[in-house]
Structure 1
Amino acid sequence: MHPFVHRYELDTTRPTAKEVLRDVGLRAFLPGAVLWVLIVATGFLVTGPLGDLPGEVGVNRWLEERRTPFWDAVTDVFSLVGTTEFIIGGTVLTILLVWWRTRQWWFAVVPALAVALQALIFLTSSIVVGRERPDVSRLDEAPPTSSFPSGHTGASTAFYLTLALLAQRITHPVLRAVVTVLCCLVPLAVGMSRLYRGAHGPADVVMGLINGIVCCALAWNYLRRDVRTQR
């Protein structure tokens, strides 16, 4: 067993509420604040010295010129699985299933922590950066938030990568591999869909992926677990 991936199986001791709150602050939100600074700094770099990356609009226009009814429908589905409502519903369902199977509430909250931390960083950083959306026709009504970073991409990355980590408990090797690969591919499909539909530029999607990946890792690692004897 890998100490990081299986940390909640290797150490099943029940933490106190005080320990959980301490670790959430020190091991999730504190490094999350560092991530926020890096995202905002990158956003200011993109919208400032880099001149809003003028080459990006070429990618969006290339995709706009190649839109078809088939890909419009496909990207609509993948864009949907990254919406706030879908992610919240999936997170709640995952929490209930994990708690039911493990009876470890401190483990069951991991998906919520990953999604919430990502959302907090996304919402506040997008307000501060305030990047305009790409100058192309959009297939969806633009959310009130600005373009940088991509919220759909960040939320889907944080959620589906958490599912990929949970999938490592599947005992059947083929099923485990299939579920893991699918969970890792969904955020990429969501990010590509947001590009195709004109909602974001490449930099927005890349930073959304980074936000989701880091928040997933921070949430999964938030609680101190003793796995030294398993190494």
Structure 2
Amino acid sequence: MNTFVHRYELDTSRPTVRSAARDAATRALLPAVVGWLVLIGVGFLIVGPLDDYPEGNAVEQWFADHRTPTMNTVSEWVGHLGMTEVVIGVTALTVAILWWRTRQWWFAVVPALAVSLQSLLFITSSALVGRERPDVEKLDEAPPTSSFPSGHTGASTALWLTMAMLAQRIENQVLRTVVTVVCTAIPFAVGISRIYRGMHGPLDVVFGILNGVLCLVVAWWYLRRDTSKARVS
């Protein structure tokens, strides 16, 4: 048994709101700040000394040159899985269902914490770095945020990898495997769709994924849990 994945099952003790808030600040927010500093540093490196990483232009242009009507439609629908409205809606529904099924508010807030931290890191770092979007025809209207990091990719990573973690509670092995694989694949599909549609370059997507992974990990870890007596199998 993976004690990190199942930590909220191994220790179901009820924390106080105050202790949970303190843990969130020290175990989630502070590590996220460190990640934010790294994100900012990489972003400034890309737009500065790396001269906006021109090597990525070939990848962006390749996708633009190989567009088809079918893939245009597919990429549009895949990209919806990382849209703000969809991410917020699925997150809110997940929190509500978790709270209802487990009666553990301290566990139910994990998806919201992961998505919220990702959004905070993405919006602030994007505003500071200000990287221009790829110089190819764009299939979507460009939002006011800049290209680095990819917000769609980061949001989908934080949300759908959290869903993959939650799927480990499914008892049926086949269903658990299918749900895990699908949820894990979604962020990568969203990232590729964003490159395909001319909205982001490869590095934007890579660091969008890393941003989402970081926020998932610290959100899942935010609350102190005692797993010392757990048997690892």
Shorter-chain TM-score bucket reads: over 0.9
In structure 1, what residue type is equivalent to 2:164?
Answer: A
Correspondence for 2:228: 228
Correspondence for 1:171: 171
Q: Alignment partner of 1:81: what SS?
A: helix
Q: Alignment partner of 2:229: what SS?
A: helix
Name the stretch that deviates more: 4-13 or 52-61.
52-61
Structure 1 alignment gaps of length 5 or more: none
Q: Deviations over 1:44-95 (max 9, x none)?
A: 1111111101111111111001000110011001111100000000000000
In structure 1, what residue type is equivalent to 2:24?
Answer: V
Aligned runs of 1:92-171 on 2, under 5 Å?
A: 92-171=92-171
Mapped to 1, the partners of 2:206 and 2:65 lie a distance apart of 22
Structure 2 alignment gaps of length 5 or more: none
Residue 197 of structure 2 is aligned to residue 193 of structure 1:
no
Q: Cα RMSD between the aligned structures?
A: 0.5
In structure 1, what residue type is equivalent to 2:149?
Answer: P
In structure 1, what residue type is equivalent to 2:78?
Answer: F
In structure 1, what residue type is equivalent to 2:44?
Answer: F
Correspondence for 1:90: 90
Correspondence for 1:15: 15
Correspondence for 2:54: 54
Q: Alignment partner of 1:229: what SS?
A: coil
In structure 1, what residue type is equivalent to 2:199?
Answer: A
In structure 1, what residue type is equivalent to 2:140?
Answer: D
Mapped to 2, the partners of 1:75 and 1:221 lie a distance apart of 33
In structure 2, what residue type is equivalent to 1:66?
Answer: H
Aligned runs of 1:19-58 on 2, under 5 Å?
A: 19-58=19-58
In structure 2, what residue type is equivalent to 1:79?
Answer: G
Q: Deviations over 1:76-133 (max 9, x none)?
A: 0111110000000000000011111100000000000000000000000001100000
What count of residue pairs does the alignment treat as equivalent? Answer: 231
Mapped to 1, the partners of 2:43 and 2:195 lie a distance apart of 18
In structure 2, what residue type is equivalent to 1:192?
Answer: I
Mapped to 1, the partners of 2:147 and 2:112 lie a distance apart of 24
Q: Give the fraction of aligned pairs with identical amino acids, expressed as a percent.
A: 60
Correspondence for 1:70: 70
Mapped to 1, the partners of 2:214 and 2:177 lie a distance apart of 22
Mapped to 2, the partners of 1:153 and 1:22 lie a distance apart of 29
